[in-house]
Structure 1
């Protein structure tokens, strides 16, 4: 690790010193000749230099990326495809300072932002489409923003802003804002059809059509349909669904208005931990006997359709194939126009749909069937011999006492989400070289939840596991049809939220080299909740069926909760241009996140919710300094950062309880995106970050490293393009390194570092055909993104449950341009 760290820090330092030296030399001597570039490469460099970003800018018309005084990463459609992201969250591997655990599949990622303390989901990442949040709250239990978006060929590019002025615009996210920009119709028609196949019996069809409809009118339509068994085959379709997106644009005098709609209906398997062997205090992870950690999953057809014993006389049937799917539609409209010297913009959308979680969540670590039976006797048949009773397969036959078994909950969480958001801005140059922006943001959103957590099942610790029954000699039934544990938490809740914000920003161009900006935001949030009161009962009134004793059941009464909060956020920044395409910047901001619906439920009572110390409004202060440059031979985006947090709430759902805590943290580090083009058609890029963040304010964990965040991660990506007349061949690859992390806040469960190698070939044949072959994790590296989050304490020796990255996967696609 030290060699990696020293190499990266030395490389970044050398790059900064070299580029700064070139900046000082500019104007003193004629610039050195740039390498010869072919038309495509020269066009790409020119596009990068002139690239305009719209995320985090005061004006809806955007600002040249090189001229922004904040950290923002962009990726074009081709860059997205070359990265071979396994999901929307996996796109964030292109962004320094962000670590996305996308090993759960298409949905349900955990995303950590540099120095921002979080343990699961993505509380500090907001996902937007065309500048509007898909859902205004970035995270709820069993929902994180990237789950509401699917990639396809209707996406033009993505912009990911970290910190910066995002604290005052849109949802006011102080962490990262991930803004996907959809394609719009233009005077140049575009029509493509793409077929993709690959590992896991992948079959996917993408299509897109866009262009001019009539004078001043433009439109697009596109989407995808796919099916796959997945890299980890659960014996049913891992991903099965489709998406359709359409837009209509009307050009106006000095502006335009666009309306769009996207509907998505897809089922996505959700993967949690698998059995592994841990040794050397968690520093060494090896394969569990008989279980391939790269392709295996416990899920199987045998447990696919399962039953939940929800209340006396009430059972529910669920399908694991539904996974963490999505059945939702978003309607949106955006208006931009210059009117009488004023730049006016308005962006609005309405989102509605079901984002349910019908999935397996692994529980206790593996043990032998004999040990399980002995524990059951000690608990339910005291005084009997450890082996008293029977342990058999649900499908028949005795279970070998040496067979390794595990427990996993088959959970059901149904969430019906809806929201409306609108942001209005007006900007004008009231004084020479001084532009003022004033705006307002409103959000109205709901979540109706029905949860059934627990429902533990006993099964073999084998791929596509078999379910197990257990009955003791005294008549106690420990496991029936595989069910060996009750539903321990089953709230039914309805939530409503309203946010209203006003913001003002001012940009002052002092001269040709210096530009300053300042902004402020005042926001109010009002939340209301109706949450069922719960009790525990034996649903069949039979004490011998211990698997459903103590089942969590709604009493028929509810608790009403409400809370109002108001916060102020600020940002101030400046940029100094060393030359036309080289600059340095500095920024400071203070931002907030509000409490969420889950914080209300966890508080339990109005009195507890009113305690601002027990349920605080989180606050973050950030400082950044950065350097940017783009040229024919190189490009560099480098920034250092410092973060200071207070009042962050944490939640951990274990095998039998929901744990909550509050803490703060401090962190610092450096992010970098570097690229060199030493010879014609060759580019080598290096992207990553080094950071260190520690908890504070909570004596139990103060001084410990923030969980799940690697101190260091980087991606080294070479690409080489071979022109062949009207054809071309592009070879590309990536070596990625993710440093070691701690799986828990107490720094007891270690997650070792890992590395992966990806590679691809893109062949363009004339103006119409495109062929791509790409592979990920070609070396079949065994790396962990998550330990056993259902348990607390150290888990560093012997059999464990943990979630590894996916094994080797290969995709091949053919595209035709009409």
Structure 2
């Protein structure tokens, strides 16, 4: 969807606001009415992400792009998962339709195909797991939302290249509630779509002089928006903080334990026509509520090796069982300020899930292909006594014949065990070397590991209907194509142990030139050393029977291993400044250069030490970003607007196809765009908010993709949110809110073959407040039941026309909650 008017309109709005702010700065202002409580909080909002000082800086005075959301704003956004919070952040597009875990998150112009390599998730300023993404892991999967969160800050680019784990893309930092002098407690009960049952609790307060504490968490169980016949989400979490106020300092300890099982949703059958521009429901399948998963296949078997079978539970999904412990220390000693942050993460993030493969086809077409494949395999024909197959019998595993016209699909039931551990520590020391000029130096250290056991493949044949039934297929020459639904082997089964260590030193200088101008500069040098011990693989027939073709050629470790290692280093910098037009209005400029290092998965994919050492095969990507922005906040309006330019040099991509083939390529990209967060309050209690971005980002440096649009990212996306509060007296009120979301067209792949059409959704809610004690909220998402696609068939490289597998939005959902504050 192209809308050249929108960027022009935004530019005009910026000029008007800048002119007005400049005029206010040069003339005496008439006394204004006091801002509302909510607006006052917005004007005085302090952010701590991306700044040198632990005490932070006012959001309107910050010289970088950052989005914030407090507890109420988070609830009003009604995120379906941690990743779904990103829908409120301009320049970021989150594909959160997989459920609680396993999202794909794309950042403005950064080339990425899956997961979230350019998004880091932090808690209290510490990265939960230092690498933002690995295969079958992305950072948001390690964090669950609940009522212990005070706010979230999402920094895009800016100075993040020199702090913490040096993420050049987006950093999502969750700030926990801490106890205060005023005790606060809440309990919230929630129900909704999918027989949701959830309770959240929180309590925080003063323990003794100088000591404060808090504790809270949740318990949840639900069948899910897509009913698989078994619970989609089942888990709990508890979080606690302990704070000690020091003389000119503060120490905060925090801990979190999570045990949560979450179903993972992949593609469903759909019909694509008009070159992919029109998407409609597949006959007999509701794409908004249906899933191929069913109770029949919940407990499935993997033939891992001769005499070795494993039973896995789809109900475990992409879950999280982990603990996090950390501490933040901030102390002023004379003219010096010292801060230190560390955390320890230990968790299992396993994936037991269905991954759709080839597009739907008829049972007859499947049988014809199976006959041709079997007859073309000399070993299979010999085992059948030289007899060629001419027909087949297809029956449901639970009984009953399958007609030739029945539409069927193949989907892999995969199992990936992932045990992650990490320790991070960041130390900063600051000193004012002359008036209003502060220098900060410090270091960052991260030690992390991953132990992986993979079973990919394990294809199953099933009916193309919700809660699908498994199918057995036997050829008339004795060849068993599918047994208990299994029609494919495990095609990739590595066992691997990885270790990584990053060490960085950095320095920055912040200079307040005068009351209007402030500039800063920072540099960082970082070294990464990673290693991996990866099992070498062989293939074998698990039952030594060539006629059972579904398990022939099963991948398995052969008992030997390959050790791979690599050390890299890189430099990053940031320079920026802001100019105050008025007390609460400023403009800023920013330039930075950052990098990413290769990951554990790059080692595994390279295969040999020679390939690992080849910087042409595995480059260290560099990214440059340039921004100019405008910020203002007042009782009447709020505006955060910035224009950006990105240049990306060399990143390695990989894609696992339905047959196990892994495709690899290297590309760069460049992009330009504008991001906006606007709000006007024309009358008391009414706010109209518009957020979003317009960008044009293209690949470069690779002849196969140069000039193509960067995959998965819309050129235009925006959200319009009106909010109106109706007071009833005596502290009672009702707040009505709604959001209209527009997501532009995208391409699912680098070659721009799989078109993803634009879509629009409507969300709405109402919050009733009865004094200071009781809140009742009713909210709904995708109320218009829009059939929008967030992902094409990532297991294929061809276009999407006719029957396809793709991942659509969740259908209409609702949620009701009752909160009691004590």
What TM-score, normalized by structure 1, do the two folds share?
0.98
Partner of 1:732: 737
What SS class does the counterpart of residue 26 from structure 1 fall into?
A: helix
Partner of 2:478: 475
Q: What is the alpha-carbon distance in structure 1 between the residues aligned to residue 680 and residue 567 of structure 2? A: 51
Partner of 2:672: 668
What SS class does the counterpart of residue 370 from structure 1 fall into?
A: helix
Partner of 2:125: 131
Partner of 1:748: 753
Deviation of 1:32 after TM superposition, in Å, equals 7.0
Q: Relative to 1, partners in 2 of residues 1:618 and 1:28: Cα closer, same or farther, differing over 3 Å? A: closer
Partner of 1:564: 567
Partner of 2:720: 716
Deviation of 1:29 after TM superposition, in Å, equals 4.5
Q: What is the alpha-carbon distance in structure 2 between the residues aligned to residue 706 and residue 292 of structure 1? A: 30
Choose the corresponding residue for 1:157, options 151, 156, 172.
151
Q: What is the alpha-carbon distance in structure 2 between the residues aligned to residue 767 and residue 692 of structure 1? A: 47
Q: What is the alpha-carbon distance in structure 1 between the residues aligned to residue 388 and residue 404 of structure 2? A: 14
CA contact (8 A) 1:666 1:693 kept: yes
Q: What is the alpha-carbon distance in structure 1 between the residues aligned to residue 782 and residue 389 of structure 2? A: 45
1:277-296 to 2 correspondence within 5 Å?
277-296=271-290
Choose the corresponding residue for 1:312, options 291, 306, 313.
306
Deviation of 1:453 after TM superposition, in Å, equals 0.4
1:652-801 to 2 correspondence within 5 Å?
652-656=655-659, 657-725=661-729, 726-795=731-800, 797-801=801-805
Partner of 2:208: 214
Q: What is the alpha-carbon distance in structure 2 between the residues aligned to residue 749 and residue 800 of structure 1? A: 11
CA contact (8 A) 1:373 1:386 kept: no
Partner of 2:644: 641
Partner of 1:26: 24
Q: What is the alpha-carbon distance in structure 1 between the residues aligned to residue 724 and residue 507 of structure 2? A: 46
Task: Give ranges in structure 2 of 5+ residues lacking alignment.
Answer: 382-386
Deviation of 1:649 after TM superposition, in Å, equals 1.1
Partner of 2:38: 44
1:413-562 to 2 correspondence within 5 Å?
413-562=416-565
Deviation of 1:14 after TM superposition, in Å, equals 2.9
- Of 644-653 and 800-809, more deviation after overlay is shown by 644-653
Choose the corresponding residue for 2:326, options 328, 332, 336.
332
Deviations 1:281-330 (A, max 9, x none): 00000000000000000000000000001111111110000000010000
Partner of 1:145: 139
Q: What is the alpha-carbon distance in structure 1 between the residues aligned to residue 366 and residue 671 of structure 2? A: 44
CA contact (8 A) 1:671 1:689 kept: yes
Partner of 2:375: 381
1:35-434 to 2 correspondence within 5 Å?
42-381=36-375, 388-434=391-437
Deviations 1:117-154 (A, max 9, x none): 00000000000000000000000000000000000000
Q: What is the alpha-carbon distance in structure 2 between the residues aligned to residue 623 and residue 658 of structure 1? A: 35
Partner of 1:598: 601
CA contact (8 A) 1:764 1:770 kept: yes
Deviations 1:391-432 (A, max 9, x none): 110011110111100000000000000000000101111111
Q: What is the alpha-carbon distance in structure 2 between the residues aligned to residue 604 and residue 33 of structure 1? A: 70
CA contact (8 A) 2:220 2:234 kept: yes
Partner of 2:627: 624
- Of 651-660 and 511-520, more deviation after overlay is shown by 651-660
Q: What is the alpha-carbon distance in structure 1 between the residues aligned to residue 791 and residue 813 of structure 2? A: 20
Q: What is the alpha-carbon distance in structure 2 between the residues aligned to residue 660 and residue 240 of structure 1? A: 37
Deviation of 1:696 after TM superposition, in Å, equals 1.0
Partner of 2:811: 807
What SS class does the counterpart of residue 585 from structure 1 fall into?
A: strand
CA contact (8 A) 1:423 1:439 kept: yes
Q: What is the alpha-carbon distance in structure 1 between the residues aligned to residue 472 and residue 247 of structure 2? A: 72
What SS class does the counterpart of residue 448 from structure 1 fall into?
A: strand
CA contact (8 A) 1:381 1:474 kept: no
Q: What is the alpha-carbon distance in structure 2 between the residues aligned to residue 534 and residue 719 of structure 1? A: 58
CA contact (8 A) 2:228 2:295 kept: yes
Deviation of 1:630 after TM superposition, in Å, equals 0.6
Deviation of 1:11 after TM superposition, in Å, equals 3.2
CA contact (8 A) 1:140 1:598 kept: yes
Partner of 2:384: none
Q: What is the alpha-carbon distance in structure 2 between the residues aligned to residue 32 and residue 435 of structure 1? A: 36
Deviation of 1:13 after TM superposition, in Å, equals 2.1
Q: Relative to 1, partners in 2 of residues 1:386 and 1:693: Cα closer, same or farther, differing over 3 Å? A: farther
- Provide the aligned C-alpha RMSD in A: 1.2
What SS class does the counterpart of residue 442 from structure 1 fall into?
A: strand
CA contact (8 A) 1:370 1:387 kept: no
Deviation of 1:653 after TM superposition, in Å, equals 1.1
Deviations 1:201-242 (A, max 9, x none): 000000000000111110000000000001101110000000
Deviations 1:367-408 (A, max 9, x none): 000110111111113699996020110011110111100000
CA contact (8 A) 1:202 1:230 kept: yes
Partner of 1:11: 9
What SS class does the counterpart of residue 281 from structure 1 fall into?
A: helix
What SS class does the counterpart of residue 275 from structure 2 fall into?
A: coil
Deviation of 1:342 after TM superposition, in Å, equals 1.2
Deviation of 1:535 after TM superposition, in Å, equals 1.1
Q: What is the alpha-carbon distance in structure 2 between the residues aligned to residue 232 and residue 737 of structure 1? A: 23
CA contact (8 A) 1:168 1:570 kept: yes
Deviation of 1:28 after TM superposition, in Å, equals 4.8
Q: What is the alpha-carbon distance in structure 1 between the residues aligned to residue 555 and residue 72 of structure 2? A: 50
What SS class does the counterpart of residue 380 from structure 1 fall into?
A: helix
Q: Relative to 1, partners in 2 of residues 1:644 and 1:473: Cα closer, same or farther, differing over 3 Å? A: same
- Of 19-28 and 701-710, more deviation after overlay is shown by 19-28
Deviations 1:686-719 (A, max 9, x none): 0000011111111111111110000010000000
Q: What is the alpha-carbon distance in structure 2 between the residues aligned to residue 713 and residue 644 of structure 1? A: 21
CA contact (8 A) 2:389 2:477 kept: no
What SS class does the counterpart of residue 4 from structure 2 fall into?
A: helix
Which 4+ runs in 1 deviate beyond 4 A? Answer: 27-34, 382-387
Q: What is the alpha-carbon distance in structure 2 between the residues aligned to residue 389 and residue 333 of structure 1? A: 64
Q: Relative to 1, partners in 2 of residues 1:769 and 1:44: Cα closer, same or farther, differing over 3 Å? A: same
Q: What is the alpha-carbon distance in structure 1 between the residues aligned to residue 105 and residue 329 of structure 2? A: 32
Deviation of 1:33 after TM superposition, in Å, equals 7.5
Q: What is the alpha-carbon distance in structure 2 between the residues aligned to residue 677 and residue 30 of structure 1? A: 23
Deviation of 1:476 after TM superposition, in Å, equals 0.5
Q: What is the alpha-carbon distance in structure 2 between the residues aligned to residue 698 and residue 190 of structure 1? A: 57
CA contact (8 A) 1:375 1:386 kept: no
Q: What is the alpha-carbon distance in structure 2 between the residues aligned to residue 28 and residue 816 of structure 1? A: 49
Task: Give ranges in structure 1 of 5+ residues lacking alignment.
Answer: none
CA contact (8 A) 2:388 2:477 kept: no
